[in-house]
Amino acid sequence: MQVPFTRPYLAGNELLYIEDVLTSVCQGGHISGDGKYSRMVHETIEKTFGARKALLTTSGTTSLELATQLLDLKFGDEVIVPSYTFSSTVNPVVLAGARPVFADICPDTLNIDPDEIRRKITKKTRAIFPVHYGGVSCAMDEIMEISADHKLSVVEDAAQAVNARYRGRYLGTIGDFGCYSFHETKNYTCGEGGALLINSEDPEILERAEVLREKGTNRNKFDRGEVDKYTWVDIGSSYLPSDILAAVLYAQLEKLDEIQKMRMEIWDTYNRAFKPFEERGMIRLPVVPRYAEHNAHLFYIIFRDEMTRDLVMSRLKSSGIRAVFHYVPLHSSPMGLKMGSRKKDLPVTEEMSSRLLRFPIYAGMEHEILEYIVQKTISILKELE
């Protein structure tokens, strides 16, 4: 049996809505960005999650780029980021000429440690980019308090955290900006896609976001009939996905809770099955603080050391099960080292990333497959005990 690590789930109406977009062309419809389905997705994200404004982008990466451009960072500014994340959290900071300052993570949630943020603040700090790892919320009250005390912006990297909450509030709607990913590895997908959530009350920020997203033009204003022609007004890029992709995403968002429930059942099954090994001190399972309602984006086990993790990974692989490690910490990556970080700078990050193994999790996973993974893992764990 071959078990993939992840597999995109089709919610049902994707083809119907794609066909609708394509046939609408004959009646004057559009397949470019900001068509009917893009508008419906924007409305769904705003109503369901409570974002003041949502704007679809071509990826989680470009939503982070757009958020960063809206911060107007200058050369020498500093942004505090976890190192235990994907390069997309940090690339926009570097592209803006600013300096990412890597902070260590908490050993329980593997999210950025608020005490580390406090330690790393300097006169040059302008923003904090918390990443909600695996859809489990960062300690947002503390992070928002720090940002208020030091007048820093907060960009939530909620790429993995769509439909997850912190004390009842949806992730991505708490900081100044929230960034979602709809890549095929995420809970809700259109292949490649993302969204920028703008939570500020400032109308100028919203207007600027629309302009930067539309190649630096005021085209959105023109489309709404607010100006009689559109023109170049700022430095921007093209961040709109085609309405064909928005149609796919709309079909996924229609099944928001159903998809989450399917993932949650898998997450709970793993958690229940492996709990006895945690109780005997052999492994550690994901920690979900009381303030967090996660979205079952990831399930992982932390082993006692890297050697045991690698051994379990290769034993699962020989049984056809793809279980995988996660981020190579950015501060110790070739690019991080080039930028002046040193390998031993962030001990918790180094330690946790070397011992973590992620298990297959995707909506629509067949019951027999789940049972096969659980039984194989239990027998490997028993042998290692």
Ligand X SMILES: Cc1ncc(COP(=O)(O)O)c(C=O)c1O
Distance in angstroms between the alpha carbons of the first and the last residue of the chain: 26
Q: What residue is closest to ligand X based on CB?
A: 60
Answer for which of 38, 68, 69, 85 binds ligand X (CB under 6 A) is 85
Distance between CA atoms of 171 and 137, rounded to whole angstroms? 7
| CB nearer to ligand X: pick between 190 and 323 | 190
Distance separating alpha carbons of residues 145 and 149, to the nearest angstrom: 6
Closest contact distance (angstroms) between CB of 179 and ligand X is 7
State how far the alpha carbon of 23 is from the alpha carbons of 78, 240, 249, 295, 339, in Å: 49, 21, 18, 35, 50
Q: Which of residues 330-369 bind ligand X (CB under 6 A)?
A: none
Sign of CA dihedral 304, 310, 313, 315: negative
Q: Residue for token digits 């997450």?
A: 267
- Judged by CB under 6 A, the stretch of 82-90, 198-206, 244-252, 283-291 that binds ligand X is 82-90
Q: Which of residues 48-67 bind ligand X (CB under 6 A)?
A: 59-61
Residue 183 in contact with ligand X, rule: CB under 6 A: yes
Could you count the other beta carbons within 10 Å of the beta carbon of residue 151?
8
In whole angstroms, what is the distance from residue 92 CA to residue 71 CA?
11
How many residues belong to the site for ligand X (CB under 6 A)? 14
Least Cβ distance, residue 126 to ligand X (angstroms): 19
What does the block give as tokens for 308? Answer: 């045991």
- List binders of ligand X among 155-174 (CB under 6 A): 157, 159-160
Q: Retrieve residue 345's tokens.
A: 């700078």
Please tell me whether residue 181 binds ligand X under the rule CB under 6 A. yes
In angstroms, the CA 88 to CA 59 distance is 10
Nearer to ligand X, 109 or 218 (CB): 109
Instruction: Report the residue number, 85 or 187, with the smaller CB distance to ligand X.
Output: 85
Question: In the set 11, 54, 131, 155, which binds ligand X (CB under 6 A)?
Answer: 131
Which residues contribute to the site for ligand X (CB under 6 A)? 59-61, 85-86, 88-89, 131, 157, 159-160, 181, 183, 194
